[in-house]
Homo-oligomer: A and B are copies of this chain.
Amino acid sequence: MFKIEKKLKNKFGRVGEFITPNGIIKTPAFIVVGTKATVKSLSPEQVNNLGAQAVLGNTYHLYLQPGDDIIKKAGGLNKFMNWNGPTFTDSGGFQVFSLGEGFSSGENKFKSQKNILNRSLKISSKIQNVHTKLVKIKEDGVEFRSYIDGSKHYFTPEKSIEIQNNIGADIIFAFDECSSPSAEYDYQKEAMERTHRWAKRSLYYNNHHYLKNSGVQFPSSSNGNKQALFGIVQGGKFGDLRKKSAKVIGGMDFDGFGIGGSFSKEGLDETLRFVNGILPEEKIKHLLGIGEPIDLFIGIENGIDSFDCVSPTRIARTGMLYTKHGRINIIKAEYSRDFSKIEDDCECYTCKNYTKAYLSHLFRAQEMFASTLASIHNLYFIVNLVKNIRQSILDKNFYELKEKFLKKYYA
């Protein structure tokens, strides 16, 4: 259940609370990614201590490894990974289409949505070719190969929901086709329409499955609450398709909505405004896979209630750290004798206890604890930024915070 507490004067941005079987998420919120039932290099206590409210696992990855049956037997995702707060799983759509074709080429071509945007023009024709070879899309579902061992698998909307029921997260997503950001209008339209039909099937299967299995205790729902199912709005960078998708998906009886796929950087603002203008206002909206500071401000200003993104932990593992003045690369020589903190006024565990010199040393020495400390700082930075934006809406100074923060960060 989602409750809106306060709104920005633009009528889009809002502060709310989303009640899940495993706790309340105060929105807007940044959801920490724990792809394979672990937030990379962190203990659940470290994740909790840095202020994260919820963790998002990955349906595609967990299906392949360890297998959703194992997670179900373990008592669901929460128990399996020892995380006591709310959990999400995405539908696996993005990974099926991005990793499914990675096997033959030996590397994953889609590294992140940001990379795709940057590289879309160069690789578009190549990806389309590979897709037709290794990811076979039919009306019924998608055949793909495991990135681990090349084995063949078949996902349908029903299969995705079945897996997500087994994993038992509090919030699950309808199966969607996440097409290449470089796809032409005709293909994007076709994929979107298929996504709409799959959304309907996801919804039907989820409700039907529950009806059929009434009385069954689903893993995460120890209190008997049903998993929340979110529909995903697609349509890529085409405004009319986004509007259409928002209308169709928004008309279905989902508990909340995800907004997926790619945006042109300039268009995120406007796209979210009209998509969220069409989607039912009273329901929660999640922006999938996006988490750069500027995107967080744009998202929240335009009605996004939650975000997830691998970026804070992924860049952390390479030594890239967020600061109020932009990112720094801690491996640089200048930090090896810098005994100051990453940020003097940062309240994260890393900044309270370690110097840049120590972090720089750990990265040079390729010590695992480097990733832990850097991930804690970066996640705290983003989680806390969203928390501060939330507070700024309550305090009626969102626009001041936005201007002040972005000016410094992108100076």
Interface residues of A (CB under 8 A from B): 36-38, 40-43, 46, 61, 65-66, 70, 73-74, 80-82, 336-337, 339, 353-355, 357-358, 360-362, 364-365, 367-369, 371-372
Contacts and interface: CB of A to CB of B under 8 A. Distances in A.
B38 A364 contact: no
A336 to B, nearest CB: 6
B38 A369 contact: yes
A154 B100 CA distance: 53
A51 B171 CA distance: 38
Contacts of A43: 46, 369, 372
18 contacts: A36-B361, A37-B358, A38-B367, A40-B367, A41-B368, A41-B369, A42-B369, A43-B372, A65-B361, A65-B364, A66-B361, A70-B357, A74-B339, A74-B357, A74-B358, A80-B355, A80-B357, A368-B371
Contact of A65 (B61, B82, B358, B365): B365
Contacts of A74: 339, 355, 357-358
A357 B66 contact: yes
B368 A82 contact: no
Given A66-B357, A74-B339, 5 more contacts: A38-B367, A42-B369, A70-B336, A73-B339, A82-B358
A362 B65 contact: no
Nearest to A41: B368
Nearest to A82: B353
Most B CB contacts (10 A, CB to CB) among A37, A337, A361 go to A361
A357 B67 CA distance: 11
B65 A369 contact: no
Contacts of A337: 70, 73
A374 to B, nearest CB: 12
Contacts of A339: 73-74
Given A66-B357, A73-B339, A36 B365 contact: yes
Given A66-B357, A70-B357, A74-B355, A40 B368 contact: yes
A81 B358 contact: yes
A58 to B, nearest CB: 11
Contact of A82 (B70, B354, B361): B354
Nearest to A353: B82
A36 B362 CA distance: 8
Given A368-B368, A369-B42, A37 B361 contact: yes
A37 B355 CA distance: 13
Nearest to A352: B82
Nearest to A69: B337
Contact of A38 (B41, B353, B362): B362
A65 to B, nearest CB: 5
A333 to B, nearest CB: 12
Contacts of A354: 82
A81 B362 CA distance: 10
Q: 10 closest A-B pairs (Cβ-Cβ)?
A: A66-B361, A41-B368, A82-B353, A38-B369, A36-B365, A38-B367, A368-B368, A65-B365, A80-B358, A74-B339
A66 B364 contact: yes
Nearest to A373: B43
Contacts of A36: 361-362, 365, 367
A355 B74 CA distance: 8
